[in-house]
Amino acid sequence: MLTAIGVVAFVVALLTSVMIHEAGHFFTARRYGMKATQFFVGFGPTLWSTRRGETEYGVKAIPAGGFVKIVGMTPLEDVEPGDEDRAFYKQPAGRRTVVLVAGSFMHFVIAAVLVLGASFGIGQVVESTPALAKTTDCVASIVDDSGDQTCDAAGAIPGPAKAAGIKPGDVVLAIDGRAVKDGEDFIRTVRANAGEPLALTVLRDGKRVALTVLPVPVDRPSLDDPQKTETVGAIGVSVQRRLVTERQGFVQSLQDSGTTMGLIVKSIKTTLTEKLGTITELYSPNRDIEGFVGPIGAGRISGEVLASQETTGVKALTFIGIIAGLNFFVGVFNLLPLLPLDGGHIAVVWFETARDRIRRMRGYVGELQRVDLTKLMPLTYAVVLAFIGLTIWIAGADIVNPIKLPQ
């Protein structure tokens, strides 16, 4: 049930982002006097529409995007008599650029608002006191190449944790009266006290329970240098790290927001550069969990996030992070200088402007000569087909070989 809710929440967030993207185009176009005749969410047959002034607003059957119809987006379109001066292609290059950039700009705004809102409203994810996932019957005195840590292993020692009454699910609050910060703090404390009894305070079913456990000396790889072996204490438990959210002050929240945005930018840069080669591995068992993922995969991950055992705050921050990262990625991707993306149209506008200036410097005094878009149509169709093929490729992998969140 929670998984389905997560998927629905992702779809709603995605469609909301699309609406805001199109609103960026719509309001800047209206601001400059251009005529926008349609503002729709979705594609295909119209489910509902209403007209306000000169614009028709509505919803279409296929929730896979949205669009704003601005009169005269290209010189190839027919323009009704009387609307010539309000046609998009008739406007100065600066205004056309603003209208085209506005969609991507809104994605950046969405990402920044989500990150800032989450940081100030929820906080940051921090590790809390650890839970003990399970106890073992025995502890191996030395871990050899076979990895055998059962009671049948040579030199196996009865597990101190089970003998002390520790139970799976116990949350360790303190050791010898000192509060335990996180999982690593617990592990290092136990390892440092071989042969020394430890007084544990654990939380079990909402009640504090006092226990005493005696770590036994065993040989294990060093935490600081895995190539070295050292004698440490062990009690025979597996530690489950617990994540919670923690509110920060104004300055720290602002810094955390900047750090989060920096991580998003770095992740997108890595995806568009270092991760391109992983596209061929989407259907393999070695699929990169930090590689490409489509709307289907992102929706599935969002569902898994909300269905996880994490706290509500951690779930909310993770989900918001997914939506913020997706918006930032779409904003960057949409500015690539390829038709039919907005970045492709911007490239055409700038090329026209640069070419016109050069010609006028050489004495040309006629009207601005437009780029012949019919000559670019084959390239545009090729880009569209490539995008469709890539989308289908990733969507197929998200269905048959989905990325799963680490447990």
Q: Say which residues have a Cβ less than 8 Å from residue 259's Cβ, sequence separation at least 6.
A: none
- CA–CA gap between residue 407 and residue 85 (Å, rounded): 60
Q: Is 158 within 8 Å of 137 (Cβ atoms)?
A: yes
Q: Say which residues have a Cβ less than 8 Å from residue 267's Cβ, sequence separation at least 6.
A: 290, 325
- CA–CA gap between residue 328 and residue 345 (Å, rounded): 20
CA 141 vs CA 158, 174, 216, 253: distances in Å: 10, 26, 8, 46
- CA–CA gap between residue 345 and residue 338 (Å, rounded): 8
Q: Is 33 left (phi over 0), alpha (psi -120 to 50) or beta?
A: left
Amino acid at 278: T
Candidates 183, 299, 282; CA nearest to 242 is 183
Please, what is the angle between helix 312-333 and helix 2-31, to 10°?
40
Residue 239 pairs in a beta bridge with 132
Task: Provide the annotated active-site residues.
Answer: 22
Cα atoms found within 13 Å of the Cα of residue 312, Cβ hemisphere only: 1
